[in-house]
Amino acid sequence: MKQAQLGREQLLGLGLLAPTLILFILLIGYPLVDSLYLSLQRTSTLTLASHFVGLGNFRALFGDPEFWAAFAHTLVWTAGTLTLQLVLGVGMALALHGPLFARSLARGLVLFPYLLPTAVAVLVWRWLFNDLYGFLNYALIALGIVAHPVAWLSRTPNAMISVIAVGAWKFFPFVVIAVLARLQSIPETLYEAASIDGASPLAQFWDITLPQLSGVLAIVVLLRSIWDFKEFDLVYLMTGGGPGTSTETLPILVYREAFQLLDFGRGAAVAVAMLAFLLVPFAAYFVVIRRLESRGT
Amino acid sequence: MPKTRPGKPQLPIARRGLLVGATTLGATVATPHLVRAAGEVTLRFWTSQGAPVQMAAWKNIFRRFEKNHPGFKVAIELYSDDDLWTKLSAAFAARDLPDLISYVQAYTVATLAAQDLVEPFDDVIKAVGENDFYPGMRDIYKYNGHYIAATYNNQTSSNLWYRTDLLSLAGLAPPQTWDDQLKAAKAMTKGTIYGNSLPYGRTSMTSTMMVNFVHQAGGLVVNPDGSVGFGSPATIAALEFLRAIFPYAPPGATNYSWGEVLNSFVTGRAAMAPYTGRPIGIIAAQNPKLLDHISVVAYPWRASGHPAFDVPFNSLFIPKGAPHVAAAKELAIALFQKQNYLEFLLTAPGHNLPSLKSIAAAPEFWSHPLIKKFRPQVELMIKNTAAGRNLVKETDASPYNLKAGDIFNSGVLAETLQDVVVNKLPPSQAAARGADKIANLLKA
């Protein structure tokens, strides 16, 4: 009788777990396994007709300078935009934490770039950067800084610098939100004690604010580096990967292989390689989370 | 009464009931859409031509079709050139295909034909009138003894639009050769005006123009015997010319495609630009003060080469697996009927050129005010378009190039030009690199 009761409880437990498990398999497990499987095939994007090529796609990929160039561009883009996001985000969060006229309004407005759809943001920025009619060139020429329009998106390294800047503008509000929330929870008594001890504002920032922010910054850096690494729409819509292939990142390469060269298998292979690269920050994320939990931060 | 664990709060309904409910809800959400409207067939029509004036024309045309074909409705679904492959791939993968697709270029149809994804179109061509089509526009879609599509309209971007006022100010005649064009570009680059707009971006317009430049230099991308012709001295000469004229293009030209090239000319910032007949309508609507100061010639060619005109052969075709093939053919035939055809062509006067000789001769076509004003220019563009070719069949002797789409979509043609102007490679090295890439594509 007791055993039967236990069996029913176990079944019920399994039943309750089942929806989560099924969703996990459908939404994560299946796409992951299917991507791995596809990366081992040569598959026509149109007909999905395929044949097994083993590691052939990976061999071709790793022997292709274009893949390594795209990887390098992805690293430059990720590092560049992330650094700028952190500088802008922390700076803005500190400004919004302090006494400021219309602070609530400013805190709301700072979210604007993050809320704006990427396609709209890109449209606005492309217009600002336009070689013939862009405001930036107009202003620079009017101020006598340059004699001729600057090719912001059509020369190297201007294109990468411009994309990095727009990426930083678009995504820095995330850093602001995270850092500002943490700033508000730092006990005021720490600053009062430091002031009594004669610590300068810079010393207070260095010895109190920064250590208190380290946990949240670690999480922000890890999450944003993962998101920036796989960013597609902003870079693609800004430059399409050009000029030449100077801003072609790995997500753009996936798109090209799968939907322009119609080789789904090679596209999947690039995506799987990306996943492998992303496992590094992903593993770091878990290590950091664990450390933070053990510190009780 | 069901037993419960002591100390645990009771749910208002039994857990098993909750599970059953959740499962039922999940199954309901996951169930495919089974309910279908009865008694009426909806034909799905894909087009990239969705400007308000074009949508109005499509709606009028389909209203007439529906009146003449009771029980049928036509639904317009828009795609853009950029998302065509994504949409097509999804449609083929899901077996959820439209009935008729319009405005797809010959490259794309060739790629589909290579994978047996296009329905025969012989009935449509015969019903419209096989001999009424310009031969080149008809035969580009003849594959394995069957027509697989019809050129619905056509145009060439191998025209050179120029500013008559600026050219006469420079004391020059309209350019005929590349040397003339280079001289004119230099002479007209002054202040905020750039002498010559050209696409140097990794874009479809650059690839289109590259095919054209290679042909104008006397070369071929793929030789009739199937070998790669792209690395030839003709390609090198084309790249040298494009490098020489690059300094007279707007600074953003290395990102330019159709929109930017058109914009630079119609706004008056570029003195010369290649384009179809579209500037006529745009300038009339948005910058009419330029309307009396523009004209067009066949795009200049290399002195030792020959004129060449690249055309897209904008098609109508039925994808294999479309649900209503017979009705889709009826719809295609209706689109060629004089009233319908003229209504669509005149949505972009001078840009949409007819593929039927009878329509090109119709007084109604020439009675449009802008076409009347630019009659010699439109006549020239029709003549050049009728002689147009593209990568699918570069010469009479060339076989149907089923890899044309792969070459075009790979971007290798535009990349070769970018290697010269962005990466500063010598033209000979860039051409050789491009030829290797094309050889790999042909082998794949």
CA geometry: angle B403, B407, B411, nearest 5 deg: 160
Q: What is the pLDDT of residue A7?
A: 82
Q: Cα–Cα distance between B278 and B53 in angstroms, integer?
A: 14
* Distance from C-alpha of B86 to C-alpha of A255, rounded to nearest angstrom: 9
Same domain, B284 and B423: yes
Contact B80, B46 (CB under 8 A): no
Residues of chain A neighbouring B117 (CB-CB closer than 8 A): 46-47
Task: Tell which residue, B205, B202, B385, B368, has the closest CA to residue B281.
Answer: B368
Q: Between A244, A246, A260, which is nearest B409 by CB?
A: A260
Looking at the fold, whether B434 and B382 belong to one and the same domain comes out as no
Alpha helices (runs of H) in B189-322, residue ranges in sequence order: 204-216, 233-245, 258-266, 278-286
The sheet carrying B294-298 orders its strands as B272-274, B159-163, B294-298
- How much is the ipTM here? 0.78
Q: What are phi and psi of B147, to 5 degrees?
A: -80, 140
Digit-by-digit pLDDT tens for chain B (444 residues) are 333 333 333 434 444 444 444 444 444 444 333 333 446 899 999 999 999 999 999 999 999 999 999 999 999 999 988 788 889 989 998 899 999 999 999 999 999 998 999 999 999 999 999 999 999 999 999 999 999 999 999 999 999 999 999 999 999 999 999 999 999 999 999 999 999 999 999 898 999 999 999 999 999 999 999 999 999 999 999 999 999 999 999 999 999 999 999 999 999 999 999 999 999 999 999 999 999 999 999 999 999 999 999 999 999 999 999 999 999 999 999 999 999 999 999 999 999 999 999 999 999 999 999 999 999 999 999 999 999 999 999 999 999 899 998 899 889 999 999 999 999 999 999 999 999 999 999 987
pLDDT of residue A295: 67
In total, chain B counts a number of residues equal to 444
Q: Are A259 and B85 in contact (CB < 8 Å)?
A: yes
Class of residue B138 by CB neighbours under 10 A (exposed 0-12, middle 13-18, buried 19+): buried
A45 to B89: CB separation less than 8 angstroms, yes or no: yes
Chain B contacts in chain A segment 223-242 (CB below 8 A): 239-242
Rounded distance between C-alpha atoms, residue B158 and residue B387, angstroms: 11
| The total number of residues written for chain A in this structure | 297
How far apart are the C-alpha atoms of B256 and B258, rounded to whole Å?
7
Query: A242 and B201 in contact by Cβ < 8 A?
Result: yes
**Assigned fold of A65-295:** MetI-like fold (1.10.3720)
Task: List chain A domain ranges.
Answer: 65-295
The answer, for B27 touching chain A at a CB cutoff of 8 Å, is no
Number of Cα atoms under 13 Å in the Cβ half of residue B386:
15
The answer to whether residues B264 and B178 belong to one domain is yes
Within an 8 Å CB–CB cutoff, is residue A121 touching chain B? no
Residue B391 lies in a domain: no
| Whether residues B181 and B77 fall in one domain | no
CA B343/CA B167 separation, integer angstroms: 35
pTM over 0.90: no
The distance of Cα B440 from the centroid of its chain, to the nearest Å, equals 25
- Helical packing angle, A158-183 and A65-97, nearest 10°: 40
Nearest-by-CA chain B residue for A137: B251
Question: What is the tally of structural domains in chain B?
Answer: 2
Residue B50 domain-assigned? yes
Q: Are residues B252 and B104 in the same domain?
A: no
Candidate from B86, B252, B423 with C-beta closest to A259: B86
Supply the CATH number for residue B193's domain: 3.40.190.10
Most confident of A94-108, A186-200, B418-432: B418-432
Q: How far apart are CA B262 and CA B198, in angstroms?
A: 10
Q: How many CB pairs under 8 A join A and B?
A: 103
Among chain B residues, CA nearest to A150: B251
Nearest CA among B108, B126, B127 for reference residue B117: B108
Q: Strand, helix or coil at A198?
A: coil
